[in-house]
């Protein structure tokens, strides 16, 4: 059973009553919204079905947890109204609400006017429009970014956000992951009024798989900047050595979150030229008994290691008072052990290692 509910009857034949006469695909939308389409195409939403990690994990999920578990994963990554393009334009802009703020229980109805952030946007030959608070709400994002399964695939990102200082301050998911970039026309008239336009890159940890070197580099810098805005690294002299601290000071959820079992965040330290790798490791670790395993489907429990908003992780290292110390916080979207376990280690070159922050003490 698919968790994502959609209200459109099967069949997409055009008619005089068709609410989307120019088509329903993201490419159809991109014929007018070119910038949005280009940004979306390389985004985690646009790549939600094309990610080699997702594709490799699906049969593994079915092997370990059954066909229903696989269907749950597909409910968010490959919703039925958009099977060939992942999380497409209609997923959000035709959403009319949700049946619950979890597990992909989204209600989508392309028969109603498409949702946008403004109430006075002019309709076009492509579709009618409506203003929607739901479109920009954490409730929409949380529909898929709050998982209670299958099995160990528990991702409480929305719950983390709702308990965060950012939620109390009214900072939303879009404020960080869809920042305002440039302007968009309010009507089809290129000389008409303009409004601020939010980026549709949905900046996060995942890379734009298969992108050109230039696009990959630009995406990596956006990811690094996002992580740098969230995490703070400090090195402090204490008696007998130094203390290294990583603190989640800026994210409205745990870091990492959302498939935290895939992520790799760590701190390397160099003392007087001598390397001390991974003095701090951040992220969830799947375990089987007392042994770490690469894949969630091979685990019987998960040891949580993500940093909640305001939380910190500390490490002490012995060092002479005169020894120079440099710490570097690094991150990768997917751990090497996961790539090897899934048999896609050849894609490792597409996963940059981000130098998120550096701190030193003379």
pTM of the model: 0.91
DSSP 9: P
Rg (Cα) of the chain, in Å, rounded?
Answer: 22
Question: Any residues with CB less than 8 A from the CB of 289 and at least 6 apart, and which?
Answer: 300
pLDDT digits (tens, 9 = 90+) for 224-250: 999 999 999 999 999 999 999 999 999
- Residues 70-84 have pLDDT tens digits of 999 999 998 866 556
Pairing verdict, β 154-155 and 241-248: unpaired
Return d(Cα 142, Cα 199) in angstroms, integer: 19
Chain CA centroid to CA 94, Å: 21
DSSP one-letter string for 142-161? HHHS-EE-STT-EE-HHHHH
Determine contact, residues 281/266, Cβ cutoff 8 Å: yes
Residue 254 DSSP SS3: coil
ω into residue 60 within 30 of 0, thus cis?
no
Task: With both helix axes pointing from N to C terminus, report the angle between 67-77 and 52-65 in degrees, rounded to the nearest 10.
Answer: 150
pLDDT for position 186: 64
Query: How high is the pLDDT of residue 11?
Result: 32
Strand partners, 148: 154
Domain regions of the chain by residue span: 5-198, 213-361
SS3 category, 99:
coil
Q: Residue ranges of the chain with pLDDT lower than 70?
A: 1-17, 80-84, 185-190, 192
């Amino acid at each position: 059973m698919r968790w994502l509910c959609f209200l459109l009857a099967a069949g997409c034949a055009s008619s005089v009553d068709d609410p989307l006469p120019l088509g329903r695909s993201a490419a159809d939308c991109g014929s007018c919204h070119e910038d949005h389409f280009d940004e979306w195409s390389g985004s985690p939403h646009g790549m939600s079905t094309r990610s080699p990690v997702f594709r490799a994990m699906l049969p593994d999920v079915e092997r370990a947890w059954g066909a229903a578990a696989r269907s749950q994963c597909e409910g968010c990554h490959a919703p039925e109204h958009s099977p060939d393009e992942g999380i497409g334009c209609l997923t959000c802009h035709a959403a009319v609400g949700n049946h619950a703020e979890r597990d992909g229980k989204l209600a989508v109805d392309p028969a109603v006017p498409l949702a946008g952030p403004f109430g006075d946007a002019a309709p076009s030959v492509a579709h009618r429009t409506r203003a929607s608070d739901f479109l920009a709400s954490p409730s929409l994002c949380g529909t898929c970014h709050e998982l209670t399964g299958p099995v160990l695939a528990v991702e409480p990102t929305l719950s983390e956000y709702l308990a965060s200082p950012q939620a109390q301050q009214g900072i939303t998911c879009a404020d960080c992951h869809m920042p305002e970039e440039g302007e968009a026309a309010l009507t089809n008239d290129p000389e008409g009024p303009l409004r601020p336009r939010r980026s549709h890159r949905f900046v996060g940890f995942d890379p734009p798989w298969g992108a050109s070197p230039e696009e990959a580099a630009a995406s990596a810098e956006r990811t690094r900047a996002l992580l740098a805005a969230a995490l703070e690294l400090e090195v402090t002299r204490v008696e007998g050595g130094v203390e290294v601290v990583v603190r989640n000071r800026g994210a409205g959820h745990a870091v990492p979150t959302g498939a935290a079992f895939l992520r790799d965040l760590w701190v390397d330290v160099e003392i007087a030229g001598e390397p001390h790798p991974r003095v701090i490791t951040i992220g969830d670790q799947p375990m089987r008994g007392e042994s770490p395993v690469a894949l969630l489907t091979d685990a019987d429990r998960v040891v949580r290691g993500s940093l909640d908003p305001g939380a910190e992780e500390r490490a002490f290292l012995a060092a002479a008072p005169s020894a120079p110390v440099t710490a570097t916080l690094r991150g990768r979207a997917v751990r090497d052990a996961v790539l090897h376990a899934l048999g896609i280690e050849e894609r490792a070159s597409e996963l940059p290692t981000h130098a998120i922050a550096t701190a030193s003490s003379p």
